[in-house]
Chain A
């Protein structure tokens, strides 16, 4: 690996850590616009919010001394996951080992984020976390199946453009889109944070720096997922080889996906835990079986 690429990656990773709050700021503005409101004063508002929370006194909820540790590890893991994803994308190094590592990092950060709320003793937070985990279990499976299938399809698409493969690609990307949307915790899937629906609210015990860390990790995760989705959608339509341009395009498109998710969320209401699980499980299962059938077909 040469030095310029390394520097480039460092820059992109740094940017990727700064873009999420910005994306969130824009999302808030867009949502406000749909809702006839002014919204936050500037699109930098999320930065200000996070900073304000970060400098407040640290209050660790009683019986939840682990919370701080776990949320910090979650943050680190999320950052590493971002870096690793960017590295793979920039270098085009889709070796099984690399993929496995990234998968591990991403799901690790998800699990840790959920654990953060579980470690508090507040039953509402706990209920919220369990609801989240329930959704996550189904969702994570769908997400990784979708990602792996679409990457395989992408690699093969260069040599083979059979309808089966194209269909398989389209379906698996659709699965990724659905699962990343669900994973972003936006309406209708914001069940874990649905305080008006009782016995939930993973954030209930967090405040100050803790909340800042949690929120940032959460936004970063949302952004990373959009980034991955953007990569999967973008690749077949572009033949960029310059890593700088490629990354720039990917970042921009990722941002757009992030915003379009936010946009969609403003138009919908919240589903119920049982309904969401039912629909999500059914959709995931159907798509996965379709994918299996397709690959089975194309192997002949």
Chain B
């Protein structure tokens, strides 16, 4: 019946386990998945990470002048799916997790790219950097000028080309 006194033995042998965090280090192990950091040099704004991000912590906005890749840390669940997906290996991983800030802006990161406008219709459609990167990767395979044409116009263009090719006229 007095077996419950054994807790005293445990207290004596184990001692105090509380960590005086933040004055002491936290309990994070080497495997901990923390915040991500997007390398503005490597990133080309392709948006692959945006499509995979489960909680939509990453979003992309394309307007006339610029393409903005936004990372809202407040929504990030530290899953690193984006890291796996990024074709440019532009996303660096960290084991940081301390997120409290005074200002909401401090948990937002933004990467801004200049946007290319479509040669045909003039619509802004993709970051310049991405175009350059594609150019580098596919090189001659692609007709140089087509790269500056937005997907919609490109479709029309290709169709017209095919027609010209097989029917002999546009």
Touch A–B, Cβ below 8 Å:
yes
Binds A, one of B2-10, B25-33, B108-116, B129-137: B2-10
- Asked if A267 and B7 sit within 8 Å, CB to CB, the answer is yes
The residues in A between 18 and 59 inclusive whose CB is less than 8 angstroms from any CB of B are 32-38
Which B residues are CB-close (under 8 A) to A32?
16
Task: Report the interface size for chain B: residues with CB under 8 A from the other chain.
Answer: 11
- Asked if A38 and B20 sit within 8 Å, CB to CB, the answer is yes
Which of A34, A38, A267 meets B18, CB within 8 Å?
Answer: A38
B14 within 8 A of A: yes
Which B residues are CB-close (under 8 A) to A38?
16, 18, 20
Which B residues are CB-close (under 8 A) to A34?
7-8, 11
B15 within 8 A of A: yes
Cα-based distance from A33 to B11 in the complex (angstroms): 7
- Tell me the minimal C-beta distance from B25 to chain A in angstroms: 15
Cα-based distance from A36 to B7 in the complex (angstroms): 10
- Asked if B5 and A33 sit within 8 Å, CB to CB, the answer is no
- Tell me the minimal C-beta distance from B24 to chain A in angstroms: 10
Cα-based distance from A96 to B2 in the complex (angstroms): 42
- Tell me the minimal C-beta distance from A27 to chain B in angstroms: 15
Which A residues are CB-close (under 8 A) to B11?
33-36
Which A residues are CB-close (under 8 A) to B1?
none
Report the nearest A residue to B19, measured CB to CB.
Answer: A38
Which A residues are CB-close (under 8 A) to B4?
267
- Asked if B18 and A37 sit within 8 Å, CB to CB, the answer is yes
- Asked if A36 and B20 sit within 8 Å, CB to CB, the answer is no
Which A residues are CB-close (under 8 A) to B15?
36
The residues in B between 80 and 119 inclusive whose CB is less than 8 angstroms from any CB of A are none
Cα-based distance from A270 to B5 in the complex (angstroms): 16
Cα-based distance from A35 to B11 in the complex (angstroms): 7
- The interface centre, meaning the residue of A34, A35, A36, A267 with most chain B CB atoms within 10 A of its CB, is A36
The residues in A between 252 and 300 inclusive whose CB is less than 8 angstroms from any CB of B are 267
B138 within 8 A of A: no
- Tell me the minimal C-beta distance from A242 to chain B in angstroms: 38
Cα-based distance from A38 to B24 in the complex (angstroms): 13
B141 within 8 A of A: no
B17 within 8 A of A: yes
- Tell me the minimal C-beta distance from B17 to chain A in angstroms: 5
- Tell me the minimal C-beta distance from A281 to chain B in angstroms: 23
- Asked if B5 and A36 sit within 8 Å, CB to CB, the answer is no
Report the nearest B residue to A38, measured CB to CB.
Answer: B18
- Tell me the minimal C-beta distance from A18 to chain B in angstroms: 28
Which B residues are CB-close (under 8 A) to A35?
11
- Asked if B14 and A36 sit within 8 Å, CB to CB, the answer is yes
- Tell me the minimal C-beta distance from A270 to chain B in angstroms: 14
Which A residues are CB-close (under 8 A) to B16?
32-33, 36-38
Report the nearest B residue to A268, measured CB to CB.
Answer: B4
Cα-based distance from A35 to B17 in the complex (angstroms): 9
- Asked if A36 and B8 sit within 8 Å, CB to CB, the answer is no
Cα-based distance from A267 to B1 in the complex (angstroms): 13
Cα-based distance from A35 to B15 in the complex (angstroms): 9
Which B residues are CB-close (under 8 A) to A267?
4-5, 7-8
Which A residues are CB-close (under 8 A) to B5?
267
Which A residues are CB-close (under 8 A) to B14?
36
Report the nearest B residue to A41, measured CB to CB.
Answer: B20
Which B residues are CB-close (under 8 A) to A37?
16-18
- Tell me the minimal C-beta distance from B83 to chain A in angstroms: 37
Which A residues are CB-close (under 8 A) to B18?
36-38
The residues in A between 231 and 250 inclusive whose CB is less than 8 angstroms from any CB of B are none
Cα-based distance from A177 to B26 in the complex (angstroms): 44
Report the nearest B residue to A33, measured CB to CB.
Answer: B11
- Tell me the minimal C-beta distance from B104 to chain A in angstroms: 29
- Tell me the minimal C-beta distance from B168 to chain A in angstroms: 86
- Tell me the minimal C-beta distance from A38 to chain B in angstroms: 4
- Ranked nearest first, the 8 interchain pairs of A and B with the lowest CB-CB distance are A38-B18, A34-B11, A36-B17, A37-B18, A38-B16, A36-B14, A36-B16, A267-B4
14 residue pairs of the A-B complex, CB under 8 angstroms, read A32-B16, A34-B7, A34-B8, A34-B11, A36-B11, A36-B15, A36-B16, A37-B17, A37-B18, A38-B16, A38-B20, A267-B4, A267-B7, A267-B8
Q: Known pairs A32-B16, A267-B4; list 5 more (Cβ under 8 Å).
A: A33-B16, A35-B11, A36-B11, A36-B15, A267-B8
